[in-house]
Amino acid sequence: MTAPASPTPAVIRLDGVSKRYGRTLALDGVSLEVENRELFALLGPNGAGKTTLMHILCTLLRPDGGSAEIAGHDVVRAPLAARSHLGIIFQEPSLDDRLTVWENLNLHGLVFGVPRALRRRRIAEMLALVELEDWADKPARTLSSGMKRRLEIARALLHDSEILLLDEPTVGLDAQTRERIWAYIRRLQAERGLTVVVTTHYIEEVEGCDRVCIIDRGKVLAIDTPHALRHAHGQQWLRVTPREAADRAAMLERFADRLLREDGAELVFRSDDAFAESFLGAFGTRIRTLANEVPSLESAFLTLTGRDLRDQGAGPRERTAAFGRRGGEHTR
């Protein structure tokens, strides 16, 4: 008889973690586990507590209550041991623009105590990995935004970290560069067996993650695979563009209880098969465009949080003095 497979060990554990800024409760008893080699996403609106949570995992903030562990090391009692397992990419740029690409990597290796010979070998490996070999002697300020992000990924992995924390790694980048950065992340995870935890405002980016944690106002609302979240919490939507202003007014009056939002010229209604049939029967000839959307992660997010996900940076309460304007490169 074959023995049952052992569960995948969790490499990140949070148990009842809370954090308060004055009267504002940023994290309210957050408990979750991230499994080894998992691609795990934190998804939430601005002010949800995502960056505060990442700063606690990075040992830049102490929780007010509860506990957090990285690879079995408590982030408060053993911060250096916990940090030794981490590669960190902050939301704000944290490269020294005055140094070359190679010097940025070398400085990071020195800070983490990587021996000289090993450091040089790993720098060469990382530059090849992110395709920056030809830029090794160029100042970091000459790189594009996407290239800088790739350099930060290389730097985060230089000390052989097995857990990669990325706080909004693609914010401010164009769609093509965002896609390329995610291609690097997924390739690195597969090749190096990394555990990756990422925060993002782009819902489409979490579709390929193993699990997604939806967090809002400091509370975990749901954790599951994208597929399970869509089917458990997603809604069917009917997107309609009326032909005339009078048609729009009539639709809003008749189906006001179904209206989700007005999106430019479009009206978005909560739908199901019966509603779609009823709507077409009433306004079939008065519609310019119509799309019936199946349950999505976006609709699941709206169902759970009751508000839109905005593409914004972390709020001022989520930033720390240790992080600083330079992204905390001296807080390792």
Same domain, 289 and 241: yes
Q: How many domains is the chain partitioned into structurally?
A: 2
Q: Looking at the domain assignment, is residue 147 inside a domain?
A: yes
Same domain, 220 and 271: no
Q: Looking at the domain assignment, is residue 3 inside a domain?
A: no
CA distance 69 to 91: 22
The arithmetic mean of pLDDT across residues 190-195, rounded, is 89
Q: Is residue 38 within 8 Å of residue 195, measured between CB atoms? A: yes
Same domain, 170 and 265: no
The sign one gets for the Cα dihedral 188, 215, 91, 208 is: positive
Q: What pLDDT does residue 168 have?
A: 86
pLDDT tens digits, 128-139? 888 899 999 999
Residue 289 belongs to a domain with what CATH number?
Answer: 3.30.70
CA distance 328 to 73: 22
Token pair recorded at residue 63: 């929780």
Same domain, 85 and 100: yes
Same domain, 174 and 254: no
Residue 226 belongs to a domain with what CATH number?
Answer: 3.40.50.300
Q: Looking at the domain assignment, is residue 2 inside a domain?
A: no
Same domain, 97 and 161: yes
Find the domain containing 248 and state its range: 236-294
The confidence band for 309, taking pLDDT boundaries of 50, 70 and 90, is low
Q: Is the pLDDT of residue 20 over 50?
A: yes
The arithmetic mean of pLDDT across residues 294-309, rounded, is 81
pLDDT tens digits, 203-236? 888 988 999 999 999 999 999 999 999 989 988 8
| Pairing status of strand 219-224 against strand 211-216 | antiparallel
Output the CA–CA distances (angstroms, integers) from residue 119 to 87, 102, 108, in the order listed.
15, 11, 9
The arithmetic mean of pLDDT across residues 115-139, rounded, is 92
Q: Looking at the domain assignment, is residue 299 inside a domain?
A: no
Same domain, 159 and 75: yes
**Rounded percentage of the chain residues whose pLDDT exceeds 70:** 90
Q: Looking at the domain assignment, is residue 131 inside a domain?
A: yes
Same domain, 34 and 182: yes
Q: Looking at the domain assignment, is residue 289 inside a domain?
A: yes
Q: Is the pLDDT of residue 196 over 90?
A: yes
DSSP state of 140: G
Q: What backbone phi and psi angles, to 5 degrees, belong to 82?
A: -65, -45
Q: What backbone phi and psi angles, to 5 degrees, belong to 277?
A: -65, -40
Dihedral angle, C-alpha 282, 238, 241, 256, nearest 10 °: 60
Same domain, 18 and 95: yes
Same domain, 191 and 240: no
The confidence band for 53, taking pLDDT boundaries of 50, 70 and 90, is very high
